[in-house]
Structures are given as C-alpha cells and as structure tokens.
Amino acid sequence: MPSSRLSLVLRLVVAFYTCLAAAAQTQEPLIAQPGYKVGQPIPVSCLNRTIDTGEHITDESGQLSYVPAFTCNETGRPLELYFGIEKEINCTIDFIDDPFFHLLEFYVHNDAPLTCRIPTKPLPPAVLKDEFEKGSQDLTEGQGSLSDVYTPLIVALTGTLQLSHLHVSTSLNVLVHAVPKSVAPGTIAAATAYSISREPPSRIVIGDPLPLRFSVRWYPNTALPSGWTGIGGHLTFSTFVYCALSALASAAICVTYFRGVELPRRLRSHGKDRLGGIERGGLGAGGLGGYGIPNGYGYGKRD
C-alpha cells in the first residue's frame, strides 16, 4: 500500500512539472522575445468593427478581433512603422469602398475610435504571419488595452460630416515612446496618433482615394520634452547665451572692419590732406619759402 501511494505521488509530481514545462514553452516566444533593431518594421493592426453600429467584433471565445491596418498604395502592404526611424510616411488608400466609408464616418464623428495597436516587441514568425494574412486575436486573457504583447495606438482622426461626403484631416502626427535602453532595449512603451491642420482637409466620397501622411517621431523614454515657452517667451539661459554670442560676433566684425578698412582709409585721406596743405603753402628750397611762414626771426622771408 505505501508503495502504491508513493507511485501515485510520483506520477502527480511528474504530471505537474510536465504541465509547467509545457506552459513555459508555450509562453516563452511571446515573453522572452528580443527587442527591435533600429529600422525594423513594426506591423500596425486595427480593431475590427461593424459598419452598422461601429461596435467591435469578437470571436467565438469573446476575444477582440484585430485586422491588419489599411493597405498603402505606395508599398502594397499594410501600414508599418520602423523602430527608431523618424520619417514622413505616405499611405494612400487607393479606393474607399462603401463599408470603409461608413467606418470613416464613425471615426470622424468620434462615435467609435480608430483603435490600433503595435507589437511591444517583435512577434514570433508564426504570429506575425497570422497578423498580416488573416488578422489576429488578443494573446492575453480578457479584453482591454493593457497588454505585455501589444501597445495601443489610438488614431484620433478628425474631420467633418456632410450629407454626401466627408472632410478628413489627412495629415497626422505619430508619437512613439520607447522604454529606456538601459531598462529594456528595443521595447515600445507607448504610442499615439492625431490629425493636425497642416493642410486643408481632403474631400472624400465613396470611390475616392484617401491620401494619409504620417509624420513619425520617436522618443527614447517616456518623458515628453517641453517645447513651449509661452506667448512672447521669457528670458532663458539659452536666450541670454545667444544674445551674448551675437553681441560678441557683431563687435568683432565692427572692430575688424574699422581696423582693416576704415582706419587705413582715414589715414590715407589724412595724409593726402596734409600733403595738399603743404603744397598750397609753397615751401621753397630749404623749407623756408612761402608767404606768412615765419623764418625764425619773427617775420616771413620775402623774395
């Protein structure tokens, strides 16, 4: 009897550790993935929504369904970012069909956000293939935007609704924060995108192309640098240094010009005036001739 109990306990222990090893093996590709390299492409996927109500679509298990972002006519591939690369990305959607036009109405009217996401670290090849070919579901339990696998990228697309068409602000800023290199190199921390009024909005009807222009900027940490000094500005150290250097440069130019150009010109002019005055005085031989010039005896010498 004790031997059978011991055998049962050993079997349970072996089964337990086998399950743990299988679970660790299953999760390892998603957690222990290496970080991005500079310039490595980052796929963008967006939440699948219905065209009737704009509600998100879920699969049979209740997980949110994501599909690859709109295909860019310039590359023939869904929209991609590039790790650490700041650039302007043109992504023209070649043809606005009826379903996508209705989704644009939801996005522009803010009835439903254009909810996208990007992998926090490079995805395993098998998952990345599914991401591009047939879309993917959440790789974590439950629903929501907090995940170790993906980083949310909410696109605030602005515009106005008309009865027969849309006006869409097609110029967008994309801000992406990376985790500090000393903490987790090649890892994305946060991202967002929003329309800006760089150009007049594009008028869109069904069948038109939609030219989107993304201005991508990267930050090496989660802090956003300050670039605002207020209307009118204030005296700062950088401003003081700039003014001081400008003053020194102006003074150096003035001194150089005066000593190299103006002073020699004045000396030449003064010398010519002196020589002209002596010639008009009529100095004779010995330097004594001339009217009104004393000769040392108290009166001028006359011929």
Boundary-marking domain end, from 184, 219, 254: 219
* Together in a domain, 38 and 186: yes
244 confidence band (pLDDT: 50, 70, 90): confident
What's the structural domain count of the chain? 2
128, exposed or middle or buried, with CB in 10 Å at 0-12, 13-18, 19+?
A: middle
pLDDT given at position 235:
60
Q: Are 73 and 93 in contact (CB under 8 A)?
A: yes
- In this structure, are 171 and 261 located in the same domain? no
Q: Is residue 14 domain-resident? A: no
How many Cβ atoms are within 10 Å of 250's Cβ, its own excluded?
A: 10
pTM attached to this predicted model: 0.62
Q: What is the percent of the chain where pLDDT is above 90? A: 35
> How many residues appear in the chain?
303
Spatial CA neighbour of 64 closest among 143, 118, 155: 143
Give the residue from 197, 219, 241 where a domain finishes: 219
Is residue 61 in some structural domain? yes
- How does pLDDT run across 165-220, given as a tens digit for each residue? 999 999 999 999 999 999 999 999 999 999 998 788 889 999 999 999 999 999 99
Residue 252 has pLDDT above 90, yes or no: no
pLDDT of residue 31: 45
Q: Alpha helices of 98-236 — where are they, by DSSP H? A: 98-108, 125-133
Residue type, 91: C
Both 143 and 123 in one domain: the answer is yes
Which tokens hold the place of 171? Answer: 């110029």
Give the Å distances, CA to CA, from 95 to 98, 101, 153, 297. Answer: 10, 10, 24, 112
Answer yes or no: do 75 and 214 share one domain: yes
The tokens describing 155, both together, are: 């696109």
Residue 274 has pLDDT above 90, yes or no: no
- Mean pLDDT across the chain, nearest whole number? 78
Task: State the DSSP H helix or E strand holding residue 174, giving kind and residue range, or none if neither.
Answer: strand 171-178
